[in-house]
Homo-oligomer: A and B are copies of this chain.
C-alpha cells in the first residue's frame, strides 16, 4: 500500500479497522496531521482559554461539539475516538494506558481539541529546499521541555515544549518567512541559536524524540511544539484526559497549503 499517496479518508478507514496502528509520519503527503487532547466539558473552558492564550504551542484546528465524537470541519466522517492509531489516557497526570481505540471510554461530556502539528510546515520547508535533519536521518524530531512558562488559564499551567531543527546560516531567514505564514501550525520560531536562554542544557539530550546531528556552522532553531498540551496535562493533573500517542496523529482532509494565509 502506498500510504504516502493515499487519500486521508482511505488511511483513516485503515486506522479505524486497526489495519494501521503505528506512527503516521509520511502518510498522505500534503495533508495536515493534528495533535489531540480530549477533556471533560467541566475542564473544556479552561483548556480552550489556555489554547487561546498560548496560540503558538496550541493552535486549534477544530474543537468538537460536547459529547459528539464526529468532527465537522477538518475531516469528513471522522470519529475521533477510533480514527487515530494510538491513544494515551492520563488520569491525574499519570499515563494509565495506551489504546488503539478509545470508543469504550467515550462519554457524553467529552470534548476533543485538534491542534496543529509541525509536520505541516516541514513539508513546506522541504518544498523550499530546506533540509529537515530528523527526516534526513529517519528519526523523530528532537523536542525539549523549556523554562518558558505558558500563560496559565484556570487549572492549566506548565512549561512550553519546543521542537528543534538545525539550519545552515543562509536558510534561517527563509525558514522564518515560510513558517510565519503558517500560524495555525506553530508559526515562527520562538528561539534561534541560544538553547541555554530557554533552559535547554544539552541539545544532544532531548526530553522527547531523538537527538539529531548539528553540523559545524549550523544553528539550532526552536519552534513551539504540539507536545506542549501533554506536558500541561502532566503538570496540571486533570482527573481524566485522552491524547494521541506521540507521532500517532489524526490525518486530516486539510491541505498543508490551506493552512497558509
Give the secondary structure class of A's interface.
helix
Q: Is A48 an interface residue (CB 8 A)?
A: yes
Flag whether A105 is at the interface (Cβ < 8 A): no
Nearest residue (CB) in B for A48 is B48
Query: Of B53, B63, B261, which one neighbours A49 at CB under 8 angstroms?
Result: B63
On chain A, which size bracket covers the interface? 10 to 19
How many angstroms from the CA of A63 to the CA of B261 in the assembled complex? Answer: 25
Shortest distance from the beta carbon of A74 to any chain B beta carbon, whole Å: 12
Which of A49, A154, A183 has the largest number of chain B CB atoms within 10 A?
Answer: A49
Tell me if A180 is interfacial: C-beta within 8 Å of chain B: yes
| Given A180-B261, A261-B180, CB of A52 within 8 Å of CB of B44 | no
How near does chain B come to A47, taking the closest CB pair, in angstroms?
10
- A84–chain B nearest beta-carbon distance, Å: 21
Closest residue to A181 on the B side, CB-wise? B261
Q: Mark A215-237, 1 if CB is under 8 A from B, else 0.
A: 00000000000000000000000
Cβ-closest 7 pairs across A and B: A45-B45, A48-B48, A49-B63, A52-B60, A180-B261, A44-B45, A48-B49
Chain A residues within CB distance 8 Å of chain B: 41, 44-45, 48-49, 51-53, 60, 63, 66, 154, 180, 183, 188, 261
A–B complex contacts, Cβ < 8 Å, 13 sampled: A41-B45, A44-B45, A45-B48, A48-B49, A48-B52, A52-B52, A52-B60, A52-B63, A53-B63, A66-B154, A180-B261, A183-B183, A183-B261
